[in-house]
Amino acid sequence: MKKKDLAGSTFSERVLKIALMIPTGRVTTYGRIARAAGGGAMASQSITSILGKAYTAGQKDIPFHRIVYANRKIWVDAKHRKARMALYKKEGIKVDEKDRIVDFEDVLM
């Protein structure tokens, strides 16, 4: 995303815009989103909260499954496992038995 596309918006608005731009079949990290939105080192800890609030406010198309930890690990719990794994499979993103993205560098944006 170009800096001019994000000018004049709040950090939270920039985070949402960046998350919505993650293409099908690709992933990015919480830290990369935070840095692209202009946040500092600790800003990545706020990404889930920001996107969760946007979702609650009606933004239902956030690709949460495309946002992963820097160590390749995905966030998944028992309630969401089946749906998340189906999304990864549909998009061609391989996840190993330890819930880590396979070929991480190839799908990282």
At 58-90, the pLDDT tens digits run 999 999 999 999 999 999 999 999 999 999 999
* Total-model pTM: 0.89
The CATH number of domain 3-107, selected from 1.10.10.10, 3.40.190.10, 1.10.3720.10, 3.40.30.10: 1.10.10.10
Q: Provide, rounded to the nearest whole percent, the portion of the chain with pLDDT above 90.
A: 89
DSSP SS3 for 27:
strand
For the stretch 56-59, contacts whose Cβ atoms lie closer than 8 Å and that sit 24 or more positions apart, written own/partner, are 59/16
* Amino acid (1-letter code) at residue 85: M
Measured CA to CA, the distance from residue 100 to residue 74 in angstroms comes to 6
Q: Provide, rounded to the nearest whole percent, the portion of the chain with pLDDT above 70.
A: 93
Classify burial at 83, counting beta carbons within 10 Å of its beta carbon; exposed 0-12, middle 13-18, buried 19 or more. Answer: exposed
Q: Could you tell me the residue ranges of all domains in the chain?
A: 3-107
pLDDT of the residue at 41: 77
